[in-house]
A and B are shown apart, each in its own frame.
Chain A
Amino acid sequence: MSQLGFSDEQRQFRDFVARFFREQSPVTRARESMSSEAGYDPELWRRLGGELGLTGVHVPEAYGGQGFGAVELGIVLEEMGRVVYCGPYFGSAVLATYALLEGATAAQQERWLPPLAAADIIGSLALAEPGGGWEAGIVQASARKSAGRWRLEGTKSYVLDGRTADLFIIAAREPGSAGPQAVSLFAVQAGAPGLEVEPLQTVDATRPLSRLRLSGVDAELLGEPGAAEPVLRRVLDRAAVALASEMVGGAQALLDSAVSYAKLRVQFGRLIGSFQAIKHKCADMLLAVELAKSAAYGAAEAAAREASVDELREAAALAKALGAEAFLQAAADTIQIHGGSGFTWENDTHLYFKRARGSEVLLGTPAAFRDRFVEYVSAREVAHE
């Protein structure tokens, strides 16, 4: 266990990734992408796959990945978060890829993971439904088996990159069943008859979402029937850790921006950074960012060392809640420190602010994760008594 330290190799990897995104995907690129026809930059996306191998950084080498773990994945996301990278990485390389890694048969993995790892295709996990909730229990969409084929009915919402995805992984339950035990995962390819994709207007334009209408869509069962619940837990805990990494990257970029502006802007004959109201906000921001980083790094280590399900769940809850709070607070404070220009479209801060707003809700709110954290810590305490 490395205990919250990064090895020299990991530090070099971070420098390399950071440099790539700083040079090849600065925030101006996110602005272009979010208002483009495709909603992302296909050329940059392909480079992340083929040239850099980042889309498969955590995928085993046998499936065309790099064979690294959650710590390296966290590094990639943190550096992406810094530049509000606009593209299907989180939806495809994190959510969909983890879903296949955790929940598909070996044959299905062999078929889907190499093109996902190479960024040849975009994957998307369709779990949540109107009303939200990122757990098996909320699923209402149904899967009926007839004549050896599965047919999906229902509505999925908040589906990442729905408009651009080639492969959907969809959670659906046995018709008429209740509870999380009767939920299974299915694969559906884009363009399948009966699959309707409706893009949704989002607060964060860099993270496009869609609604899926499923009317008798022909689907392939992934893994075992009724096995989605534990799979989704593992997927979502790992995804929460990845999202936390992205959030702390964004929060750090905001802190850097607020501090450098405070060292430039003069009012009342002095730099605004010399006013304590500004200074103390920055100090508090630093504290929140560092605490959130520690949580994200600790959770990534737990995911990487294949900690017990409970331990990872506890750490993921910590990382997601603290990351979301630090990111959103940093975004609000950075707008405030920029004054009127902070409220303009031209200033980049709003891109981070919107990303923070979206990331706070995605996969579950900080309040929900706090509640879960208490549940796990308390259960462990009682068990030790």
Chain B
Amino acid sequence: MNEPAAEQVREEVRAWLAEHWDPDLSLTEWRRRLVSSGWGCPTWPAEWFGKGFSEALGEVVQAEFRRAGAVGVASSGVRMLAAATLLEHGSEAQKAALLPRILTGEDTWCQLFSEPGSGSDLAGLTTRAQLDGDTWIVNGQKVWTTSAHHAQYGMLLARTDWDVPKHRGLSFFVLEIEQPGVEVRPLRQMNGHASFNEVFMTDARVPRDMLVGKQGGGWQVALTTLAHERRQADGMRNWGRAERGEGRVYRELREEQARVMEPYKWYPQRAGRVDLILPVARTSGRLADPVVRQEIGRALMLERASQWTARRARAARELGQPPGPEGSLGKLAASVVARAAARAHAAAAGPDALLAGPDAPAEGMVAEVLLSVPAISIAGGTDQIQRNIIAERVLGLPKEPRDDVDVPFRDVRRNPSSV
């Protein structure tokens, strides 16, 4: 397929925005226009709410949106993981029914993968789904489920066959959260916030046509979700961007953010807030301390190099060159940066690192960094799992010998708590 030139696309977006962008529309109305025109997700396939553009052209479109101050589709949270998974594995009917409301922000999604007995070893999960007529009946428990407390749908991975090896007995479903069989209980985190939950499913119901992919093919579907999650490194990146601007769209966007953002206010802090390190050190007067400077230097350097590494990956893609290893390292790099940043913050704050809240440096942000950074090396696959993946897939090192993969799941050793 021949791609249009950047200049041509730029003119097209501009013309379209000039005609259609209207800050006095309702947020949903405006986003419906984005969905039906394809301008909201230009890198998606043309037949599914996109334009089939390359990433480079996608950037051109985004730049024009920024220039016009036009609001984009909803893209925060795990909704984009759900969208990417559905785009690749969903049925036509699922895509048609679910994707538009993801993009308008009418539906929020969560990822019902981890369970008390299986996190890293996701394929060892024991939530059970059984077909009863035209309905799947689901029983089990999920945990650490981000956003479940305000989500309409969950990507649910459940076991449908116990007599085959663990990876082959899983199926992937779309679960409606607002139903009697699903109970969501918020969990308080070590930093005091509550963005993740426990989810209990007791005879929860999933219509038959909400199976994604094949029965028993859930692992392949989940791999797509996980691959996108690794690449994104932080699925919540867009939360909390306060949009300025006058008009109904902006007002509703701000309301949407105030309403749903509260539990995720700490997300930027878990990445280390490298941007705050120098201001904190200047305020505390410790910037001249050579020991503190070394810690700061480490954090600033790692952050800069990991930004440049991401740019290298992008440059290679844009030049149509084969991807190098630099593209697979983002998540582990983010952990390394965050830990270095936490050390630098503690050094820069000095004794004020004892304090939290309004009395503490940067209105409590330093304390929140220190207490939030541990999440980044766990959520979305731990650092250890990332290292395994990098070592095996990128460097080609041999897998560990395992005795849990080639036997019926029934016979595999499990945590005592998991049925």
Q: Could you give, for residues 312-327 of chain B, a 1 whenever the CB lies within 8 Å of some chain A CB and a 0 otherwise?
A: 1001101101001110
How close is A319's CB to chain B, nearest CB, in angstroms?
9
- Kindly state whether residue B401 has any CB partner on chain A within 8 Å: yes
- Kindly state whether residue A328 has any CB partner on chain B within 8 Å: no
A291 contacts B333, CB within 8 Å? Answer: yes
CB contacts (< 8 Å) of B306 on chain A: these are: 291, 294
B305 contacts A5, CB within 8 Å? Answer: no
Of the candidate stretches B135-143, B215-223, B292-300, B373-381, the one touching chain A is B292-300
In the complex the two chains form, what is the Cα distance from A215 to B64 in whole Å? 68
- Kindly state whether residue B290 has any CB partner on chain A within 8 Å: yes
How close is A127's CB to chain B, nearest CB, in angstroms?
24
CB contacts (< 8 Å) of B290 on chain A: these are: 371
In the complex the two chains form, what is the Cα distance from A321 to B397 in whole Å? 29
Q: Could you give, for residues 63-84 of chain B, a 1 whenever the CB lies within 8 Å of some chain A CB and a 0 otherwise?
A: 0000000000000000000000
A294 contacts B395, CB within 8 Å? Answer: no
Query: Which single member of A3, A5, A263, A381 contacts B398 (CB below 8 Å)?
Result: A263
Of the candidate stretches A35-43, A87-95, A100-108, A266-274, the one touching chain B is A266-274
- Kindly state whether residue B387 has any CB partner on chain A within 8 Å: yes
In the complex the two chains form, what is the Cα distance from A275 to B392 in whole Å? 11
In the complex the two chains form, what is the Cα distance from A373 to B304 in whole Å? 11
- Kindly state whether residue B332 has any CB partner on chain A within 8 Å: yes
In the complex the two chains form, what is the Cα distance from A109 to B331 in whole Å? 49
- Kindly state whether residue B308 has any CB partner on chain A within 8 Å: yes
A-contacting residues, B374-416, CB 8 Å: 384, 386-388, 390-392, 394-401
- Kindly state whether residue B309 has any CB partner on chain A within 8 Å: yes
How close is B193's CB to chain A, nearest CB, in angstroms?
29
A378 contacts B311, CB within 8 Å? Answer: no
- Kindly state whether residue A279 has any CB partner on chain B within 8 Å: yes
B305 contacts A295, CB within 8 Å? Answer: yes
- Kindly state whether residue A183 has any CB partner on chain B within 8 Å: no
- Kindly state whether residue A2 has any CB partner on chain B within 8 Å: yes
CB contacts (< 8 Å) of A282 on chain B: these are: 391, 395, 397
- Kindly state whether residue A259 has any CB partner on chain B within 8 Å: yes
Chain A residue nearest to B333 in the complex (CB): A287
CB within 8 Å for A294 and B396 given contacts A276-B388, A371-B290, A374-B297: no
B300 contacts A297, CB within 8 Å? Answer: no
B333 contacts A370, CB within 8 Å? Answer: no
A290 contacts B398, CB within 8 Å? Answer: no
CB contacts (< 8 Å) of B401 on chain A: these are: 270, 274
B309 contacts A294, CB within 8 Å? Answer: yes
CB within 8 Å for A274 and B400 given contacts A3-B311, A4-B312, A287-B333: yes
Query: Which single member of A2, A4, A259, A284 contacts B397 (CB below 8 Å)?
Result: A259
Query: Which single member of A276, A286, A377 contacts B278 (CB below 8 Å)?
Result: A377
- Kindly state whether residue A367 has any CB partner on chain B within 8 Å: yes
In the complex the two chains form, what is the Cα distance from A295 to B301 in whole Å? 9
B305 contacts A280, CB within 8 Å? Answer: no
- Kindly state whether residue B329 has any CB partner on chain A within 8 Å: yes
- Kindly state whether residue A298 has any CB partner on chain B within 8 Å: yes
* 10 interchain residue pairs of minimum CB distance: A370-B297, A5-B315, A294-B308, A279-B391, A283-B387, A273-B397, A291-B305, A283-B390, A294-B309, A4-B312
B interface residue numbers (CB < 8 A to A)? 278, 282, 287, 290, 293-294, 296-298, 300-302, 304-306, 308-309, 311-312, 315-316, 318-319, 321, 324-326, 329, 332-333, 336, 384, 386-388, 390-392, 394-401
**Can you list 19 A-B contacts (CB < 8 A)?**
A3-B311, A4-B312, A5-B319, A275-B400, A276-B387, A282-B397, A283-B388, A294-B312, A295-B308, A297-B308, A318-B305, A322-B301, A367-B294, A370-B293, A370-B298, A370-B301, A373-B297, A374-B300, A377-B300
